Amino acid sequence: MPNSRTARPEIPSTVWLARGRHTGNRPDEALRRSLRRLKDAGDIDDFLELPADDTAPDLVFESRTRVAGEVTVRARLTLAPGTDRGRDWTLLAEAEQPWQHAWPSPAGMFWEQEADADWHHDPATGLLPGEIHFLPEDDKAVRRLLRDCARDPWHIHVVVHEAMTTDERGRVPLARWLPPGLRHRVVEHRALPQQSRVANWALREFGVEVPRGGAAVLPGAPAPDGYEADAFAVRAVFLDGTRPSGLVDAVTRFDALPRALPDGAREALTALREDWHLLSLEEELARERALVTMYAEALEAMTKSRDLYREAAERAHEALAAYQDAPTAPPPPRTPPTPLQHLTRTLDRLRPRRAPSRTSEEPAPEPRTTAPER
């Protein structure tokens, strides 16, 4: 299997994330109706709607609740504009502590799960997480489907091979046995007895093999650190209505691996943390105190900078005044000659002097006559 590691940030341990597509009519109305009902029932503390505009075409809903007693969970759902295939949504939730699979699914903070079955289609495949989906009959269609599923970083895709035709007891979805935090994120594919070879042919490029009568958890893209195909393949899954312990364990272990944030999740996480509007009274007070502290620090820094500038300006004026009042500076002292210069001058004095040469215009000197000797 190709090991595609990236430098993208990992999903924090406190974060739960999912995405889906609502294929019905008026998902915004479904969200408002569900949120009002959940707040009236006390299942969530509060919710807030941020309407779309020209600069932000997505509709945003925020919801806050508490799990496990007093652990606050903040969740933000972004609903994209509609297309002919429906409206895609992205959901990120963050708790004050590392996320526990036993906690309720954050999708339940927004959608009416029983009354509305149109909200949780997988955008990559169009399939419903938490349900059983049999592979297509056409081999090429099987390959296209499983290649898309093996690269999907948002959902956990599981392929289960039926060694023999099952009855109603074997048609129990895997999601029934999963903890609440995983049920809306797992897509289950079933391969009929005669589809074992085509399923493994489709998954060969990822190094994944589904054992006959077993199952395999697909890697996603990029594959998380620590993923080994053999470690997440289950040799036997008994489709007799009993809990598939080995498969549940494989899915849970896979979800615990450090995984990179999918495309689009980083921006959603930043918005959840930095553009949060649904504040409690305590959070409002804490936010105001933080603003006051920030402004006080900024004012102190500005005052200190002003004082330093004033002090520097005063020193510059004093130095300029002292320079203007000072007398004319004396000439620089003569530098004594170096030993080499002294020796050169001495040699110049000892050098013999030549008589100056006579030019043609100068008169020749008269010959000197001497008196005859007596």
In the prediction, which pLDDT does 85 show?
A: 87
124/67 Cα distance (integer angstroms): 31
| pLDDT in single tens digits along all 374 residues of the chain | 444 444 679 999 999 999 999 999 899 999 999 999 999 999 999 999 998 887 788 999 999 999 988 899 999 999 999 888 899 999 999 999 999 999 999 998 999 876 667 898 999 899 999 999 999 999 999 999 999 999 999 999 999 999 988 888 899 999 999 999 999 899 999 999 999 999 999 999 999 999 999 999 999 988 999 999 999 999 999 999 999 999 999 999 999 999 999 998 999 999 999 999 998 777 777 766 777 788 787 887 888 888 788 888 888 887 878 777 766 555 556 666 666 666 667 666 666 655 554 444 555 555 555 455 54
Q: How many residues does the chain have?
A: 374
In the prediction, which pLDDT does 360 show?
A: 47
List Cβ<8 Å contacts ≥24 apart for 310-314: none
Closest CA to 207 of 235, 234, 230: 230
313/311 Cα distance (integer angstroms): 5
In the prediction, which pLDDT does 322 show?
A: 78
- Asked if 73 and 37 touch (Cβ cutoff 8 Å), the reply is no
- Asked if 188 and 132 touch (Cβ cutoff 8 Å), the reply is yes
In the prediction, which pLDDT does 359 show?
A: 47
Beta-bridge mates of residue 285: none
In the prediction, which pLDDT does 45 show?
A: 94
β-pairing, 59-67 vs 46-50, is antiparallel
DSSP 85-115: TBEEEEEEEEESS---TTSPPGGGGT--TTT
DSSP 35-56: HHHHHHTTSSSEEEEE---SS-
Closest CA to 150 of 139, 158, 162: 158
**Residue 168: partners with Cβ closer than 8 Å, 6 or more residues away:** none
Note if the bond before 2 is cis, omega within 30 degrees.
no
In the prediction, which pLDDT does 331 show?
A: 59
For residue 32 the two structure tokens come to 């408002």
- Asked if 47 and 75 touch (Cβ cutoff 8 Å), the reply is no
In the prediction, which pLDDT does 243 show?
A: 95
Say if pTM beats, i.e. exceeds, 0.85: no
Secondary structure (3-state) at 289? helix
Secondary structure (3-state) at 138? coil
